[in-house]
């Protein structure tokens, strides 16, 4: 949603609103969104225009329209645009993936890892495996907001008590999965699509950045620059480039 605020400061000008829509459209396209799926709403937060109720100060404004896979939706106010957002489906049918945010040792209970369920379901009695440490254990119970729950679903921030695991065996950044259903595995290397937003000088093979992935924060190395690609279309521009610089996109091993 793009809300164009402070319309009162430009005397509710249609031209100024259209100018901002045009500018923002270009930016939205550049970062990979479809402008047709983005509602543009002229508002005044100070006066409350087009926030909850339709304004009388902008008779030229006929409302916003957005096109998504589920169809076309229309409205006038910012609240209607927020209400038109489709909630994402919870991927409960996929294998369990739960990146650990922290691991606590609680007296009388034991080791309690905590994190958000990304996919799948976690419940008491499950035998789970942590990657990349390959620790396997049984879940005794699952809690959310200090209350025991039968299962944790995608989007839930949960804590779960595990059997016979020391706080030293698992840590933040490990990923928990179901040991019987496609458990997470350690990868020695992987290919990533990288966009260099801003970096002094050039980047070549051997570069050692820090990678933040879910809750993990770890050093890695660019072992090979596979190909340079167009950041908008994904088309290959150069195979095995020697270097990449600010503004470039590349597939990197």
For residue 54, the domain's CATH number is: 3.40.50.300
Does 70 lie in the same domain as 126?
A: no
Q: What is the block-wise mean pLDDT of the chain (253 residues), using blocks of 10 residues?
A: 94 94 87 86 93 93 90 93 89 94 90 94 94 92 92 94 90 93 91 90 92 90 93 86 91 94
For residue 229, the domain's CATH number is: 2.40.30.10
The pLDDT value given to residue 109? 86
Does 248 lie in the same domain as 221?
A: yes
Q: Is residue 71 helix, strand or coil?
A: strand
Q: Give CA torsion, residues 133, 138, 142, 146, to 10 deg.
A: -80
- How far is it, in rounded angstroms, from Cα 168 to Cα 170? 6
Number of domains observed in the structure of the chain:
3
Read off the pLDDT of residues 54-65 as tens digits, 9 standing for 90 and up. 999 999 999 999
- How far is it, in rounded angstroms, from Cα 226 to Cα 31? 23
Predicted TM-score (pTM) of the model is 0.69
The pLDDT value given to residue 65? 92
Q: Which helix (H) or strand (E) holds 83?
A: helix 78-83
Burial group, residue 119, by CB count within 10 angstroms (0-12, 13-18, 19+) = middle
Kindly state whether residue 92 falls inside one of the protein's structural domains.
no
Burial group, residue 96, by CB count within 10 angstroms (0-12, 13-18, 19+) = buried
Structural domain boundaries, residue 241: 192-252
The pLDDT value given to residue 68? 87
Q: Of 16, 48, 83, which residue is a domain's last? A: 83
Instruction: Give the count of alpha carbons within 13 A of 210, CB side only.
Output: 5
The pLDDT value given to residue 207? 93
The pLDDT value given to residue 2? 94
Q: Of 153, 178, 203, which residue is a domain's last? A: 178
Cα 145–Cα 147–Cα 150 angle in degrees, nearest 5: 115
Instruction: Give the count of alpha carbons within 13 A of 21, CB side only.
Output: 16
The pLDDT value given to residue 45? 93
Does 236 lie in the same domain as 198?
A: yes
- How far is it, in rounded angstroms, from Cα 23 to Cα 182? 46
- How far is it, in rounded angstroms, from Cα 73 to Cα 156? 29
- How far is it, in rounded angstroms, from Cα 89 to Cα 183? 22
Strand 157-162 and strand 151-152: pairing?
unpaired
Residue 35's φ and ψ, nearest 5 degrees, are -60, -25
């Amino acid at each position: 949603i793009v809300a164009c605020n402070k319309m009162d400061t430009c005397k509710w000008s249609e031209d100024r609103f259209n100018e901002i829509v045009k500018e923002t459209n270009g930016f939205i396209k550049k970062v990979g969104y479809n402008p047709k799926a983005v509602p543009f709403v002229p508002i005044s937060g100070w006066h409350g225009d087009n926030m909850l109720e339709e304004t009388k100060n902008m008779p030229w404004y006929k409302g916003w329209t957005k096109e998504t896979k589920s169809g076309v939706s229309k409205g006038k106010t910012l609240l209607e645009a927020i209400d038109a957002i489709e909630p994402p489906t919870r991927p409960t049918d996929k294998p369990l993936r739960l990146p650990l945010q922290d691991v606590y040792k609680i007296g009388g209970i034991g080791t309690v890892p905590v994190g958000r369920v990304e996919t799948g379901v976690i419940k008491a009695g499950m035998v789970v495996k942590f990657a990349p440490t390959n620790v396997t254990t049984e879940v005794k119970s699952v809690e959310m907001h200090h209350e025991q729950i039968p299962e944790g679903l995608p989007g839930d921030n949960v804590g779960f008590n595990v059997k016979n695991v020391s706080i030293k065996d698992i840590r933040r950044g490990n990923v928990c999965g179901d040991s019987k259903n496609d458990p997470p595995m350690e990868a020695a290397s992987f290919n990533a699509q990288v966009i260099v937003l801003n970096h002094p000088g050039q980047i070549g093979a051997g570069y050692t950045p820090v990678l933040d992935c879910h809750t993990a924060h770890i050093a890695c190395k660019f072992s090979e620059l596979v190909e340079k690609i167009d950041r908008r279309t994904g088309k290959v521009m150069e195979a095995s480039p020697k270097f990449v610089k600010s503004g470039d996109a590349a597939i990197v091993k």
